[in-house]
Amino acid sequence: MRKSLLTLPALITVLIALLAIGFAQAAQAAPLQVAVGVAPVKYFAQRVGGNLVQATVLVPAGADAHTYEPKPSQMRAVAGAALYLSVGLEFEEAWLGRIKAANPKLVVVRTDQGLSRLPMPEGHNDHGHGDHVQAAKGKDKHGHKDMHDAKHEPGHDDESDPHVWVAPSQARHIAASIAAAFSKADAAHASVYAANLAAFLREVDALDAQLRATFSALPTSQRGFLVFHPAWGYLAKDYGLTQHAIEFEGKEPSPKRLGAIITEAKAKGFKVIFIQPQASRRTAETIAKAIGARLVVADPLAEDWLANLRGVAESFRNALK
């Protein structure tokens, strides 16, 4: 009988080595667990991380990203994450302390760090529901302006527009911050993250060029659009547009102010009111009926950021007055 080439101790040693290799490969294959507040940030994370990353979104579709309270099941999911990718939303500021307490090893990455934020108008206190500095024809009895035109004046107020992801210029910064965080947390795949980032930024640049071409030929008199919730200030700023917002201080307008909004909307000839699916349609429908306008959905929280922004820009272009 032919003798075995391996003795029992040698065979055991080989098996242990094979198991160690298998465990190492399994550990290497496990995706980096990250948590994010809103779906567009998940999109950036997936574009940069690919199949090396698994992202959990706290704010579900249809929920208000400004005031959301994570559920216990979500807190448990975040407890297993290595990174939290923050964009500085109000609910993140309120909950990150508790999230960190549940997961002391969690690394919070401020992907908006270094971005120039647009300020809210003076006296604004809407938990993120509002536009940056705005000018209008009428004022209410408190001196607040009725119809809000975005007139990008830096440093006007200490509150800021939180919707930093809605413009390509801001998205570049956020994606680069995410790539840097991934490379630090998973240095073995840094080159992959860098390549993914470069590929994504080429798409962002192409979108930016497309949007500039879309809006560049418009005369100054046709650069305004009417929204209920003013989430598109950064997009408006980058492409020389004017965002007119109905919502003020996170509240439905008073009857007096509603009348002023309707009067000015008629004067400006708006035929479209942009709404987002997370908000009530009631007031927007009232104004639309009064001015003969239609409602069009423009969702700043849609997950497919690139396709959504392209579609929203086209909708704005068709409605600009």
pLDDT at 315: 95
98-125 pLDDT tens trace: 888 889 999 999 999 999 998 754 333 3
Pairing of β 224-227 and β 272-275: parallel
pLDDT at 138: 32
Pairing of β 83-86 and β 107-110: parallel
128: left (phi over 0), alpha (psi -120 to 50) or beta: left
DSSP 4-71: PSS-HHHHHHHHHHHHHHHHHHHHHHSPEEEEESSHHHHHHHHHHHGGGEEEEESS-TTS-TTT----
pLDDT at 148: 41
Domains contained in the chain, CATH given = 28-113+165-207 (3.40.50.1980), 134-157+218-319 (3.40.50.1980)
Sole residue written with tokens 């604004």: 124
pLDDT band at 64 (very low <50, low <70, confident <90, very high): confident
Between 128 and 239, the more confident residue is 239
* CA 5/CA 16 separation, integer angstroms: 17
Average pLDDT of the segment spanning 311-315: 95
- Give percent helix, percent strand, percent coil of the chain, each to the nearest 5: 50, 15, 40
pLDDT band at 237 (very low <50, low <70, confident <90, very high): very high
pLDDT at 7: 66
Q: Give yes or no for residue 15 having a pLDDT over 60.
A: no
pLDDT at 128: 32
Average pLDDT of the segment spanning 240-250: 84
pLDDT at 63: 85
263-303 pLDDT tens trace: 999 999 999 999 998 888 889 999 999 999 999 999 999 99
Strands (E), the chain: 32-36, 53-57, 83-86, 107-110, 134-135, 148-150, 224-227, 242-245, 272-275, 294-297
